[in-house]
Amino acid sequence: MNGRPWQAAALERFTIENADAPWPEHRCAPLSNPAAEREIDAILLGDLWPGVEEALRGTRFTALVGGDGDPAGAIEPLHRHLVTRALNVVIEDAKDPTPRTWRPWYCRFVIEASIDRYMVRRTTILSFPEDFEMAKLTRFLREPLMQGCPPSLSWYEGVDGPGAYNLELATGEGADWGLRGRTEAREAVRGTVAEHLEVIEAMDRLSENWRDAAAFNTLHRLATDANATY
């Protein structure tokens, strides 16, 4: 840019893009170096996203990213002290294309990257019918291996159908680049996604017979392994 500081160009771009935004005198202007954004996007698309693809390969699941399925167009900025970019990934059942008002699970990953580290934040919601045994649900809440980031239980009042108990498991895993290289990070992403696919498959099996004790025990074990925090 002919020696022009990137900060000035970024501020000019922000001003133009937000010229018609309300309350302009009260807006914050997050600025980031376009060169740093390109470098981080290359990490997301070239090193971390392939881990998701590898985990999904050969399964019935697919990843929903952005409006058109293009991960490059779905990357979003996060306002942190270092330039940080993120990719939101929602797991879908490719063999169940019919819209459903209720599914017994929801699974999302937010893959973040900056120049110094990466992080995978995962959220899994498991939905149980109203008459499900509360003692089984509290096994998740009391699980000692998940007390570092404990599950939460809430009630969802159905609009077009019955209500459900929602068990939310929200955890994260990552590392500094100095501790874990990009190849290792890619494998870690693959392993994280694969573990959670096993959880939602176990949830599907349990939903076929909510009283199946063996199916519940399998779900509890897999969910604990995938979300263990100390």
Tell me, yes or no, whether 205 and 92 share the same domain. Answer: yes
Whole-number pLDDT of residue 98: 54
Q: What is the pLDDT of residue 230?
A: 65
**Do residues 51 and 11 both lie within one domain?**
no
Could you tell me if 49 and 2 lie in one domain? Answer: no
* Residues 17 and 69 grouped into a single domain: no
| Residue numbers in the chain where pLDDT is lower than 50 | 1
**pLDDT at residue 1 in the model:** 46
Give the domain extent around 139: 34-227
List Cβ neighbours of 84 (8 Å cut-off, separation of 6 or more): 40, 77, 78, 112, 113, 114
The answer to whether residues 134 and 41 belong to one domain is yes
Task: Give pLDDT, residue 163.
Answer: 85
Residues 142 and 191 in one domain: yes
As a residue count, the chain comes to 230
Asked whether residue 172 falls in the same domain as residue 84, the answer is yes
Question: What digits encode the pLDDT tens for the residues 99-134?
Answer: 555 689 999 999 999 999 999 999 999 999 999 999
- Within this chain, do residues 181 and 213 fall inside the same structural domain, yes or no? yes
Task: Judge if 123 and 185 occupy the same domain.
Answer: yes
Same domain, 181 and 133: yes
Cα separations in angstroms, 86 against 113, 125, 147: 6, 21, 27
Q: What is the pTM assigned to this prediction?
A: 0.88
pLDDT, residue 2, reads 57
User: Taking Cα atoms as reference points, which of 122, 215, 210, 134 lies closest to residue 169?
Assistant: 122
State the DSSP code for 44: I
Q: Specify whether 85 is located in the same domain as 3.
A: no
What's the 3-state SS for 192-224? HHHHHHHHHHHHHHHHCCCCCHHHHHHHHHHHH
12 and 106 in a common domain = no
Which pLDDT belongs to residue 100?
A: 54
Q: What pLDDT is recorded for position 102?
A: 65
Q: Count the domains in the chain.
A: 2
